[in-house]
Structure 1
Amino acid sequence: MKITLVSPTPLDIFAPGVRILSSYMKEHGHKTKLIFLPGNLLKLRFEKEHVYHYPKDTMEEIVGLCRDSDLIGISFMTQYFDRAVQLTKFIKERLPLPVIWGGIHSTIKPEESIKYADMICIGEGEEPLLELTEKMEKNKEPYGVRNIWFNRNGNVIRNDLRPLIQDLDSLPFFDYDLDDHYIYDIEARHIIKMDNAMLEKSLPTGLGPGNKMQRAYRSMTDRGCPHKCAYCAVGMIKDMYASQRYLRRRSVRHSIEEIVQIKKRFPFVQLIQFFDDTFFARPLNEIEEFSVAYKEKVRLPFHCQGSPTTITEEKLKLLIDAGLVFVEMGIQSGSEKTQRLYNRTTPNKFILKAASTLNRYKSSLLSPCYHIILDNPWESKEDIKKTLDLVLDLPRPFWLKIASLTLYPQTMLYRKAKEENLIQDEFRDIYRKPFCFSKGSYLNYLIYLAGFNWFPRLVLRMLSNDWFVKLMERERLRGVYFTLYRFSDLLHKTGRGIRTILRGDTFRLSLYVHRFKNYCLNLGRTSADV
């Protein structure tokens, strides 16, 4: 059988779900086609009622690519729901082919998802998709396949879950064969065949040694997370598999072999980004094994993520020796009350200890990135000030990645918000919310400024005085702070561009020019909505 997998994806086209499914199906003798539809969420930042959609000519191209398929799969995250619905309706109106949805949204909102698709996959997709296609190929009734729900003429068939795959080494690597891969080209404004040149252009970038921008390959060496944060869907999924081992890891040998193959095939890859939720959660002996193998066989700089309770000096030294240049760490809040709400009860002294550990190796590492969550409806001004105080105590240099709290379906905070009637419209408040951009407020703006290493901390501490907060934190000034944020962000990017020119980082400069060109091309056009 031939399966076409369509991925409305962020601009990085990482799309690990469809890539592993494609490899798995090929390994078992089936043909696959991948269609990547990279798109951002920027318009949601400035147009709160904006609904993303694909232009009709792009939809027609997708339909044309799907005509020779036996099954069409669409995998997406919650923020791409509108695009997935539009795709599904357009395809079903024009092709007599079954459509199956997968990805995190189908797992957390199955009753909603099955209204749009013929089938949905809940949980891991490799084994159920293989069983489904083999039953379809043999003209057998497929309605008992575990992990899959069926919409049979309006009647929903809900099947049980199958066990999680425990041996991740039994799975193939992510599919980067490019044989039957297609991508929407933002500049050309149509879907083109993927080749090495287009892949190089489309892969994400990241900072390498000397703050030089480099082309990056992203990978994951585990499935699951050691934490159970109240704002994350992992908690709900852990509950689904309560009797099973949820955090599973690939062997060092398997992970390294994948990277070696990618490095050999795509010499333009200069940086590796490990997207495991908490790479540092591995025990010390595994970190040591990985570090030795990576240093010997890969020899490329890499990024990874950690948490305050998993970052230790022993692990950090080993990883730096192997090539680690950048670490991200989740802090989220400096308020003990909010930390309890988030189920992230790590005392601030341990957060500061982890940050100090990273700071001791600042000569070997790029400035670390710390994650902060704002716009929490249960936080008081005092809670937000505690986060600001914690940020001001962090050793410099660092930078902040600030997110606006999004109450994703079925998370613990979502259920709390529903009970308290805080969610009025799920589409507006969740699906179409620009989670990367916090609201305009005085304290939010101070936290934003605290992320700049040159800004005087004494000034920020003075500006966070109760008298200033009472004077400046007013609803009618929200628009002012939002404008200030945009202006400050523009100044920051301008300064970064100047530093790029002074350093002679021509690759990074070319990226800025490319992004500006695309911005000008897309300005005000609905065809930019992809």
Structure 2
Amino acid sequence: MRTLFLQAPSFDGFDGGAGSRYQAKREIASFWYPTWLAQPAALVEGSKLIDAPPHKIGLDAVAKQARDYDLVVLHTSTPSFDSDVKTIEALKAANPGLKAGLIGAKVAVQADESLKASPLIDFVARNEFDFTIKDVADDRDFAAIKGLSWRNGSGQIVHNDERPVVHDMDQLPFVTPVYQRDLKIENYFIGYLKHPYISFYTGRGCKSRCTFCLWPQTVGGHRYRTRSVGHVIDEIRWAKAAFPQVKEFFFDDDTFTDDAPRAEAIARELGKLGVTWSCNAKANVPRDTLKVMRDNGLRLLLVGYESGNQQILHNIKKGMLVDVAKRFTKDCHELGIVIHGTFILGLPGETTETIRETIDFAKEINPHTIQVSLAAPYPGTFLYKQAIENGWLDDANAELVNADGVQIAPLHYPHLSHSEIFHSVEDFYRSFYFRAPKIASIVGEMVRSPEMMKRRLREGVEFWRFLRSRADVAA
């Protein structure tokens, strides 16, 4: 079938295809690559990928293009689901013969509920969906496709047997040729990465058991399944030639550094290619491994610290000691590795005191930049189960964002209200960034680089708009 892969228009500036933990409109305009869509698109010959939000493509334009296709596959999420269903309705109004299906963590764990949301949804693909979608695009009988939940001719919902996850990850083709064919890479921007950048996965799954983390609990699983070193390097080599303008490659694996010997092996090959690269990391990477990666082009690590309170880290099964995180961060500073640190407020056990403790922790370890998120109980996660069982999540907050796509504080506790958690994000940012040493660091960075001057000024304007939008939410 002629197949269209779609990240649909929704909230203005909404990063719905995010490979990162949460789908939301961010404090500074940011877009991750739609790798979850690009991977099955790479398997389906003659397909097309439209990533509407970063390319500012409206629904009318998408509907017009949908007339040329037999099948549309949308990536959806809890925040964007209602909007994505309306997109399917609009596309089918333009092309009544179009088959429409959904992929993503939301439908992986709520297949029945998702199909019941609209009779126009023909199918959803559960769990790891790449080859499930290929089978659909190859026009196989729906009844024979593992991993598929679908609506039969009489309107009855059918759930087929599970599809085993992919173990030989080298079976999956490169996603970067799909980027080249269908995306404008300059539209993808992350404040802490060099621009333009490219991101993709070298493996799936994460052995950690963090209760809030979306992908390992819904799609990827807890076994880190990896591509071979040669396969990864071949894609980097291809992308380096295809995108000479790219200044940085980012590996979006949940925790690229979980397999330290493999990370070192990839690093040594990247060093031979002379590329600048970054990756996700847990705050426990040995100094020797950090040095090997640094010596071979590593510039930045994205590190999920989450909290500075040890009990909260235990509560969320982070498997991390605060003292280990401090030592790791000190090693990075000494080796010249930049850190973008991420933190979450409102996790189980949070109090006004632990919020202050985390803010003080962030100031002490002093990553170069930070992102502060609100605890988001996505369906399929242990945190969601806890929130439902304990009455921490109200129905009114279940979509996790407001009408503009801005993240809300969905959880509340007997001793800590939605409002207190929500406002603590602004307090965190102000406390961290409005310090003389941090201001001096940012100004120095701007003075040394005209390009950085333009970026930081733009980001400053966007950040102030973000704070104003939060004030509107609170009002």
TM-score by length of 1: 0.73
Q: Is the 8 A contact 2:102 2:124 kept in 1?
A: yes
- In structure 1, what is the equivalent of residue 92 of structure 2? 92
Please point out which of 120, 133, 136 is paired with 1:132: 136
Q: Which moved more, 1:431-440 or 1:399-408?
A: 431-440
Distance in 2 separating the partners of 1:495 and 1:83? 41
Equivalent residues of 1:4, 1:35 under 8 A apart: yes
Q: Could you tell me which amino acid in structure 1 is paired with residue 90 of structure 2?
A: F
Alpha-carbon distance change, 171 to 428 in structure 1, aligned in 2, over 3 angstroms: closer
Which residue of structure 1 lines up, in the alignment, with residue 447 of structure 2? 502
CA distance in 2, matches of 1:91, 1:334: 47
Specify the code of the residue in structure 1 equivalent to 2:249.
I
Q: Which residue in the other structure is 1:288 paired with?
A: 264
* Equivalent residue number for residue 11 of structure 2: none
Indicate conservation of the 8 Å contact 1:13/1:38, yes or no: no
**Residue identity matched to 2:77:** M
Question: In 1, are the aligned partners of 2:257 and 2:282 still within 8 Å (CA)?
Answer: yes
Return the offset for 1:347.
Answer: 2.2
Mapped partners of 1:337, 1:279: distance in 2 = 26
Contact 1:216 1:272 (C-alpha < 8 Å) held by counterparts: yes
Residue 214 (structure 1) aligns with: 195
Which one is further off, 116-125 or 316-325?
116-125
Give secondary structure in 1 for the equivalent of 2:113: helix
Pairs within 5 Å for 1:100-119: 100-115=101-116, 116=118, 117-119=121-123
1:307 aligns with 2:322: no
In the alignment of these two chains, the number of paired residues is 431
Of structures 1 and 2, the larger Rg is shown by: 1
Match of 1:386 among 339, 350, 357: 357
Aligned equivalents of 2:223 and 2:277: distance in 1? 26
Distance 2:110 2:157 in 1: 14
State yes or no: 1:35 paired with 2:9. Answer: no
Distance 2:408 2:332 in 1: 25
Query: One-letter code of the match for 2:395?
Result: D
**CA deviation vs aligned residue, 1:33-57 (integer Å, no higher than 9, x gap):** 11111269xxxxxxxxxxxxx9xx9
- Aligned residue number for residue 369 of structure 2: 399
Root mean square deviation of aligned Cα: 3.4
Which of the numbers 356, 379, 382 marks the counterpart of 2:330? 356
Q: Answer yes or no: is 1:341 the counterpart of 2:356.
A: no
Question: Does the 8 Å contact 2:132/2:147 carry over to 1?
Answer: yes
Gaps of 5+ in 2: 9-13, 16-29, 410-417, 470-475
1: CA distance between counterparts of 2:317 and 2:445? 40
How does 1:89-488 map onto structure 2 within 5 Å? 89-95=89-95, 96-115=97-116, 116=118, 117-136=121-140, 141-152=141-152, 153-177=154-178, 181=182, 199-205=184-190, 213-234=194-215, 236-237=217-218, 246-284=223-261, 286-297=262-273, 299-309=274-284, 311-361=285-335, 364-366=336-338, 368-376=339-347, 378-394=349-365, 396=366, 398-425=368-395, 429-430=399-400, 432=402, 434-435=406-407, 444=425, 446-452=427-433, 454-455=435-436
User: How does the TM-score come out when normalised to structure 2?
Assistant: 0.81
In structure 2, what is the equivalent of residue 476 of structure 1?
A: none
Conservation of the 8 A alpha-carbon contact between 2:70 and 2:98: yes
Deviates more, 1:78-87 or 1:438-447: 438-447
Contact 2:108 2:127 in 1 (8 A): yes
Q: Report deviation, 1:256.
A: 1.1
1:348–1:390 Cα contact (<8 Å) kept: no
Are the structure 2 counterparts of residues 179 and 495 from structure 1 closer, same or farther at C-alpha, using a change threshold of 3 Å?
closer
Cα displacement string for residues 402-456 of structure 1 (whole angstroms, at most 9, x for unaligned residues) = 1111111121111111112232226655254734889666765553344238358
Aligned mates of 2:59, 2:356 — CA distance in 1: 48
Displacement of 1:287? 2.8
For each residue in 1:167-216, what CA deviation from the matched residue of structure 2 results, as whole angstroms up to 9, or x when unmatched?
111111005346863xxxxxxxxxxxx5xxxx2431325557xxxx4311
Partner residue, 2:80: 80
